Structure 1
Amino acid sequence: MTTATTRHSERRISPVFLGILAVTAVTGWATWTGFAEQPGVAVFLFVTAAWIVSLCLHEYAHARTALHSGDISVGAKGYLTLNPLKYTHALLSVVLPVVFVMMGGIGLPGGAVFIERGRIRGRWRHSLVSAAGPLTNVLFAAVCTAPFWLGALDGVPLEFRLALAFLALLQVSAAILNFLPVPGLDGYGVIEPWLSQGVKRQVEPFAPFGLLFVFALLWLPSVNHVFFGLVDAVLRGLGVSEFDTSYGWSLYRFWE
């Protein structure tokens, strides 16, 4: 299946997404140059805009993989335009993840695009459609941490480095959370095609509450400690220190 099955207008990048990219670029420049009087404001806007860009790319990866796997309906739904307003639940996909970042510095996954699974044949394709989103977060994390693991931080302004570190933390936490085999999350979507029908029927009623369940668990100190310990371990492996992420988080919350 190729993109020839969709109209060009269905694949045209949305002005909404281009606007978010523009905000990311301008605030990234302001963070780099120290243009803003309050660096925390520039960092907040830069990280938030870049986080929304990553959410759009996450959902786009799901849709694009579904398209090549047989679901040509994603084009008509507007999923290939990168417009976050076209998602099944724009509130869950964009607004709530941003709120979670502001509240707890957690890259919690949002809602999802609606894939017509009946059009897709083959268990591997179904698994790949689900995995495509969090793999985008993995790629985004690799890009954000590249200056750290490449040892290319010379000349990078402190505020920009801290912003990248915090953004990387969001991407790593989002990837880990998304890959959890919890109903309603992408990790469960990866393994679901390989489960028996009986197990699927038993699990299905819990799918709408999977995300809320994970969010509630993360507020438990013991679970939160273990989770962020894992996130910090991954980031250390990529050359990002806990100093960078903690101070990046503090700079992001400029209002405190």
Structure 2
Amino acid sequence: MERFLAFSLQELPFVIITLVVAFTFHEFAHAYVAYKFGDDTAKDQGRLTLNPVHHLDPIGTILILIAGFGWARPVPVNRRNFQNPRLAGILVSLAGPLSNFVIAAIAYGILFFSVDVGMPPFFIDLFKMMLWLNVVLFVFNLLPLPPLDGYRIIEDLVSPSTRIKLTQYEQFGTLIFLIIVITPLYQYTIQPIFSIILPAVIQGFDTVFMTLFG
């Protein structure tokens, strides 16, 4: 069975717990910020909740366990309900990745302080996975490729005419994204980004916590 999974059987419980938490807070963050800016769409569809059942996509969750990438159920957003669609759109898109960043920071903080108080190995492994996977999700979702949040932010940063042009080619962008992620091209495109940015983010946590509490 293990050969069909992207993670070892020992890692699997930690991965599943982490994904449930990460995906749930990611999508809730999108829904909450959209609601605060005047869009009730997600709330009306039961997505303004921390109940994982309303956010997890069965296929997307299984794929991340098998292939190493996947997705949750996207939160519906109606930009016409925003008084300032571009600003609100950027903040709504940014809210998801930022929620993963916050979870990663909390996980790092727990690990940082657990050195002095001691913690059972199960929880040490769990929070290590929480740290690593949430940093991955934070960085990954900010890539400027459809259908990721980074692409949605770019859409709201460019002019309306450029946004229309981007929308016309969005379907091809999604295809390119899948090719990059699924094929060996991943090793030459996205993997180098992770090999540089992920350690930098974790080193940033280390610097901040050592400065404040070291």
Which TM-score applies when normalising by structure 2? 0.75
Query: What's the RMSD between the two structures over aligned residues?
Result: 2.8
> 1:210-221 counterparts in 2 under 5 A?
210=173, 213-218=176-181, 219-220=184-185, 221=187
1:226 and 2:155 aligned = no
Within 1, Cα distance between the matches of 2:115 and 2:177?
35
Within 1, Cα distance between the matches of 2:163 and 2:51?
32
Q: 2:27 aligns to what?
A: 59
Distance change >3 Å, CA 175–CA 213, structure 1 → 2 = farther
Q: 2:43 aligns to what?
A: 75
The answer (yes or no) to whether the contact 2:41–2:76 under 8 Å persists in 1 is no
SS of structure 1 residue aligned to 2:188: helix
Which runs of no fewer than 5 residues in structure 1 stay unpaired? 1-39, 240-256
Q: 1:96 aligns to what?
A: 60
> 1:133-152 counterparts in 2 under 5 A?
133-148=96-111, 150-152=112-114
Q: Post-superposition shift, 1:212?
A: 5.6
Within 1, Cα distance between the matches of 2:13 and 2:130?
12
The answer (yes or no) to whether the contact 1:137–1:175 under 8 Å persists in 2 is yes
Within 2, Cα distance between the matches of 1:85 and 1:171?
19
Alignment coverage as a number of residue pairs = 194
Letter in 2 for 1:166: M
The answer (yes or no) to whether the contact 1:185–1:211 under 8 Å persists in 2 is no
SS of structure 2 residue aligned to 1:113: coil
Letter in 1 for 2:131: A
Within 2, Cα distance between the matches of 1:182 and 1:102?
22
SS of structure 1 residue aligned to 2:64: helix
Q: 1:166 aligns to what?
A: 129
Letter in 1 for 2:48: L
1:153 and 2:118 aligned = no
The answer (yes or no) to whether the contact 2:156–2:163 under 8 Å persists in 1 is no
Report the identity percentage: 29
Q: Post-superposition shift, 1:117?
A: 0.9
1:113 and 2:80 aligned = no
Q: Post-superposition shift, 1:182?
A: 2.0
Q: 1:50 aligns to what?
A: 18
> 1:24-43 counterparts in 2 under 5 A?
43=11
Within 2, Cα distance between the matches of 1:180 and 1:82?
25
Distance change >3 Å, CA 163–CA 113, structure 1 → 2 = same
Q: Post-superposition shift, 1:196?
A: 2.0
Q: 2:3 aligns to what?
A: none
The answer (yes or no) to whether the contact 2:155–2:166 under 8 Å persists in 1 is no
Within 2, Cα distance between the matches of 1:128 and 1:78?
21
Distance change >3 Å, CA 128–CA 117, structure 1 → 2 = same
Q: Post-superposition shift, 1:225?
A: 3.8
1:189 maps to which of 152, 171, 181: 152
